Amino acid sequence: MTVLSGVVPPVVTPLTENFEVDYPSLTRVIENLLDGGVHGLFVLGSSGEVVFHDDASRARIIEHTMKVAGGRVPVLAGTIDPATERTIANARVAQSAGVDAVVVTAPFYARTSQAEVGDHFRYVRDALDVPVIAYDIPVCVNIKIERKTTVTLAREGVIAGLKDSSGDDGNFRFCLLDLADKPDFFLMTGSEIVVDNALQMGAHGVVPGLANVDPHGYVRLWNHAKAGNWEAARKEQERLCRLFEMVWVSLPRTSPGAAGVGSFKTAMQQLGIIETNLMARPQRRIEGAEVARIGELVRAAGLGA
């Protein structure tokens, strides 16, 4: 497997005003990230609105991403479905497209047990030739992938990494400690706002949605951390925290989902990267004074002209 490390943003999926994937904008999103120096791409994650896209659309998005990336960095693809068989089917499509790894959550909608979550990953892994990265996001799937499950699956060779979007930094640290003897196991944080901390703990990678807006910032943060310059890392992180405040601007008029990714899209539109800030239905669109406020945050962070 390609060794993964560094800044691996979850790629936002831009839409046209007709709610179709806007591929020219998607190209610009990816080029903007690569210009920023990111070390990998994670397409069809939560920030990519994966569950809003059907199988055909997902396949096209992966293909397009692979073509634009052109081997410059590794590409991970989210294959996020409620249960095992549908996950395998989508993961095979991603594998055929040549992705470097698939990223898989615990099952959702139906309530599964921790043991069944483990089996889910085993079944998926058995059906594929591509590495599987576990995606721990209890706020979406209603179950945490427990430390013991992560470590067991890692030692069995079932999963090649973990993307931790649980917000449980202590648990993440124990996973790092438990798997310190497996340096090829890829432990990534999904946080935007405690990335310096995660790197100080020893995280191998970071997957910040906000990097769609400011990839240079997260790459600088990564480089400061690699150089052991923790004070500079903290300053960069604090600037990014202030930028991150955009995710609360449209609450509670919109949902947290629409407020978060929608604010990234709004900022990216203002920066000329994408055409619209539209979110897939039924998510409400950020508008009016919210847009203006996000613009202020973008400029305050030193972005834009």
Enumerate binding residues for its own copies (CB under 8 A): 19, 46, 49, 51-52, 54-55, 80, 82-86, 89, 107-113, 115-117, 119-120, 123, 139-142, 167-170, 173-174, 177, 191, 193-194, 196-197, 200-202, 228, 230-231, 234, 238, 241-242, 252-258, 280-284
Least Å from the CB of residue 20 to its own copies: 10
Smallest CA-to-CA distance from 39 within 230, 218, 239 is with 218
What's the per-residue H, E or C state across 195-228?
A: HHHHHHHCCCEECCHHHHCCHHHHHHHHHHHHCC
Least Å from the CB of residue 35 to its own copies: 28
**CA-CA distance, 185 to 5, in Å (whole number)?**
10
Q: Which is nearer to its own copies, 185 or 244 (CB)?
A: 244
Least Å from the CB of residue 162 to its own copies: 17
Least Å from the CB of residue 255 to its own copies: 4
Contacts 24+ apart (CB under 8 A), 286-292: 286/249, 286/250, 286/254, 286/258, 286/259, 286/262, 290/249, 290/250, 290/253, 290/266, 291/266
Least Å from the CB of residue 103 to its own copies: 14
Q: Which is nearer to its own copies, 183 or 272 (CB)?
A: 183
Q: Which is nearer to its own copies, 150 or 270 (CB)?
A: 150
Q: Which is nearer to its own copies, 259 or 273 (CB)?
A: 259
